[in-house]
Structure 1
Amino acid sequence: MDPRILGRLSCPVCGEPLAETTAGTARALRCGRRHTFDIARQGYVNLLTGRAPHVGDSAEMIAARAEFQAAGHYDVISAALAAATTRAVQHLRDVSSFDAYPLVVDVGAGTGRYLGAVLAALPDSVGLALDVSKPALRRAARAHPRAAAALADTWQRLPLADGSTAVLLNVFAPRNGPEFHRVLDPAGTLLVVTPAADHLTELVDALGLLRVDPDKADRVTATLGGHFTPVSSTAHRAELTLTRPEIATLVGMGPSAWHTDPAALADRLAALPDPVRVSVAVRLDAYRPR
């Protein structure tokens, strides 16, 4: 593992620093108290403590997400995050003596697509993808040459040292305010992407998808309020032209995949015009630690 990333990690059990060890062909991370965490042959390290309460997105969902993202459909989100992270790192350097290699951590990283876009825009940064889904991490471990990936549960102690992180990314993912606050540099930035009320609005009724809570972004801010201060909020939109197979891929990669009957979905898809114009609408909120 890149030492610039390894040096920011901490044992999720005791909080001590981690070092890489090798025994034959097996690689692992181990702390001074000998808590040991295996590095999978696909490149990610398992930093879970005990059994996770859920296994995250399935291999099928991750494959669908990778296909949809690779087509560029959500590049509006990648571009917004890259620009916001660049500003956040500049702010960090302006107000503190943070070292030359800012660490960007994507919590709930999925395929690592957004983290990869951010690292491409910041050539002197390194990145860490955290997710509870093994299929996601197999892809995230290859998202960028300066990125690493780790299996970790957002609701547990994050495997990062106090104040070790320049920027935290959180895209359509759970948020742990106290842990985010602990691992962020005091001058660091948390970037949260949430769907706007009209995100994918053309498909919600037509396909029976989960509806976005119109107050979602405000509720997110309220849950973080004890630890973070909002500093900016921007809206980002794009209009896609999607074929029926692309719409099926879109549905299969998100939360509606858990709640939609496949037969009913197929019937509703068949009733759609081909192609369909679909709105992408998200909100990007930036927060700094209190």
Structure 2
Amino acid sequence: MPVAPGPRSRLQCPSGHSFDAAKQGYYNFLTGKGTSFTADSAAMAASRATFLEAGHYGPLADALSAMVRSALAHDAGAPVLVDAGSGTGYYLHAVTRQLAAEGSEAATPSAVAFDISKFALRRAARLNPDAAVFVWDVWRPLPLADESADAVLVVFAPRNPAEFHRVLRPGGVAVVVTPLPSHLREIADVAGLLDIEEGKTERLDAGMAEDFELIDRRTLEFTLSLSPADVAAVALMGPAGHHLDPAALAQRTAALGAETPVTAGFTLSAYRPLPA
């Protein structure tokens, strides 16, 4: 599927099938049985937007943008970005804005975003009005043509290496962000966060090895200063948000000090597709 920058209310395939966007700006391709996975709720998407828009993960967005920019330095054309598991579109917005600021008008990036949560994608579509935004399960074959993308972003999201390899052009890049074991450790108990298992990076490399080679890896750690409301938001925006009771969480976080120092820790890994 070719994608060009600019707002769009309808897509049409070469066979003549057309797809209308929802009024919130996204396309829902998950028709019929949809997906067996549980999508983020409206409340989870709202918590994520609140936390990210406050700038707490700004250093991560900057580091991600820098890694993508470095990996695409060989290509003077307009890149096509795919955000797999986009959520509210915060990181896609950061990367496209950075690439657009440093390139010419002819090199303005195009973007495609996928997520199973329509509530998150409503926000992603508003934040990225020039992107094509789809409700879709990234575990399935992506509705994109072979070798149609220059970069795939995977930030705390499921990975489908075979499909990422298929849609990436030779010389493209997949950039994957995962949390370090130290991530949010100071508030893990009070916020009811899920454990971050050891060996996550090794399992990531093993899962990507058949289709990709690692070309760059960076770790990023910095200290957040979080209010009780921030702690509640960061808990509710992630996987634990499916199980947490917001009222009980608010009671626990209210016992914290006005500001709690919290570690944010991430691994950023860039992979180049192996020759087919």
Are residue 84 (structure 1) and residue 67 (structure 2) matched? Answer: yes
- Any idea what SS the aligned residue of 2:140 has? coil
Structure 2: state its 5+ residue gaps.
101-107
Q: CA deviation at 1:36?
A: 4.0
Inter-partner Cα distance in structure 1 for 2:230 and 2:74:
39
Q: How many residues are treated as equivalent by the alignment?
A: 265
SS of alignment partner, residue 82 of structure 2: strand
CA distance in 2, matches of 1:197, 1:191: 19
Residues 212-261 of structure 1: per-residue CA shift (max 9 Å, x gap): 01211221111111111111110112211111111111111111112334
Match of 1:205 in 2: 189
2:43 to 30, 53, 60: 60
Note if 1:29 corresponds to 2:19: no
Contact 1:207 1:268 in 2 (8 A): yes
Q: 1:138 aligns with which of 100, 105, 122?
A: 122
The within-5 A match list for 1:4-43 is 4=4, 27-43=9-25
Which has the higher mean CA deviation after the structures are superposed, 45-54 or 146-155? 45-54
Letter in structure 2 aligned against 1:52? T
Answering whether residue 96 of structure 2 is matched by residue 119 of structure 1, we say: yes
Paired residues of 1:106 and 1:168 also in contact (CA < 8 A): yes
Q: Greater CA deviation, 56-65 or 121-130? A: 121-130
Higher RCO (CA < 8 A, seq sep 6+): 2
Q: Distance in 2 between matches of 1:287 and 1:46?
A: 29
Instruction: Provide the secondary structure at the position in 1 that maps to 2:72.
Output: helix
Pair 1:232 & 2:209 matched? no
Residue 168 of structure 1: how far off its partner (Å): 0.4
Using the TM superposition, give the Cα deviation of residue 159 of structure 1 relative to its aligned residue in structure 2, in angstroms. Answer: 1.2
Q: Which amino acid in the other structure matches residue 37 of structure 1?
A: F
Aligned match of 1:190 in 157, 161, 174?
Answer: 174
Gaps in structure 1 of 5+ consecutive residues:
7-19, 21-26, 94-99
| C-alpha contact 2:3 2:110 (8 A) present in aligned 1 | no
What is the aligned-residue identity percentage?
44
Q: Is the 8 A contact 2:85 2:158 kept in 1?
A: yes
The answer as to whether partners of 2:114 and 2:135 remain within 8 angstroms in 1 is: yes
| Partner AA of 2:143 in structure 1 | P
Contact in 1 for aligned 2:216/2:269 (Cα 8 Å): yes
Aligned CA RMSD, in angstroms, stands at 2.1
2:157 aligned residue? 173
Q: Secondary structure at the match of 2:4?
A: helix
Alpha-carbon distance between aligned partners in 2 of 1:71 and 1:32, rounded to the nearest angstrom: 42
Which residue number corresponds to residue 46 of structure 1?
28
Q: Which residue of 1 aligns with 2:204?
A: 220
Is the contact between residue 61 and residue 254 of structure 1 (CA under 8 Å) also seen in structure 2?
Answer: yes
Residues 41-88 of structure 1: per-residue CA shift (max 9 Å, x gap): 111122235322235111100111111111100111110111111112
Say if 1:233 and 1:286, in contact at 8 Å, map to a contact too: yes
Tell me if structure 1 keeps the 8 A contact 2:180–2:267: yes
Distance in 2, matches of 1:269 and 1:192, equals 31
Partner of 2:267: 283
Deviations 1:115-138, CA, capped at 9 Å, x for gaps: 111111111212111111101111
Pick one of 82, 100, 105 that aligns with 2:82: 105
Amino acid at match of 2:243: H
**Distance in 1 between residues matched to 2:243 and 2:157, nearest whole Å:** 17
1:231–1:202 CA distance, 2 compared to 1 (3 A): same
Q: Contact 1:92–1:166 at 8 Å: present in 2 too? A: no
Give 3-state SS (helix, strand or coil) of 1:185's partner: strand
Letter in 2 for 1:248: A
TM-score, with length taken from structure 2: 0.89
My pick for the range that moved more, 137-146 or 66-75, is 137-146
CA contact (8 A) 1:30 1:37 kept: yes
